[in-house]
Amino acid sequence: MRIIIATVQIPFVSGGAEFHAEGLKSALIAAGHEADIVAVPFNPAVPERIPDQMLACRLLDLTAVHGSAVDRLIALKFPAYLIPHPNKVVWVLHQHRAAYDLWNYPFEDLSASPRGVLVREAIRRADQQLAEAKAVFANSKNIIRHETAEPRPGGVGLDQEKGQGPFCGTG
């Protein structure tokens, strides 16, 4: 399969999510797949611009590259998981936490922004588009509902998939 791992990159910031994406790419290649990472620049420093960045992801077309179909898109982080693809799987590593559990946190700019409430609502509405994915996985039960189907604080209200992660099975 030809697989794109979609994520975002805040310039000059790297950490566990970036290592995770590289590890996933290596594992997919070792399993015989063609895989690459597409990192969309993301800068949350000006909260009023976040909806523009969400729209930029939504407008990306990664269904084919140079005339060759991309068989699967594995999206990892907000807003990259808004990128449309007919065979998208989402492994949620990061939502935009300032819209959820870090709202009113002293070091987050979103809640202090004049339009912060509107941006937060836009983020939460956009996160409902996770439902368009073939499967959604998460490392944290705070992100999506777990097997009891009870909503978790800050969750997006989806059922958690069980399995090995968003690799290349059916779908």
Rounded CA-CA distance 13/25 in Å is 20
> Residue 130 phi/psi, 5° resolution?
-60, -25
Judged against a pLDDT cut of 60, whether residue 154 lies above it is answered with no
Rounded CA-CA distance 99/120 in Å is 5
Range 126-150 average pLDDT: 69
Cβ pair 79, 41 in contact under 8 A? no
Judged against a pLDDT cut of 70, whether residue 168 lies above it is answered with no
Range 37-44 average pLDDT: 94
Q: How confident is the model at residue 156 (pLDDT cuts 50, 70, 90)?
A: very low
Q: Is 124 helix (H, G, I), strand (E, B) or coil?
A: helix
Judged against a pLDDT cut of 50, whether residue 59 lies above it is answered with yes
Q: Percent of the chain having pLDDT more than 90?
A: 49
Q: Name the average pLDDT for the chain.
A: 82
pLDDT for residue 143: 59
Judged against a pLDDT cut of 70, whether residue 51 lies above it is answered with yes
Cβ pair 113, 119 in contact under 8 A? yes
Q: How confident is the model at residue 25 (pLDDT cuts 50, 70, 90)?
A: very high
pLDDT for residue 87: 97
Which of 171, 94, 87 is CA-nearest to residue 127? 94
pLDDT for residue 100: 75
Cβ pair 93, 139 in contact under 8 A? yes
pLDDT for residue 15: 87
Judged against a pLDDT cut of 70, whether residue 170 lies above it is answered with no
pLDDT for residue 151: 38
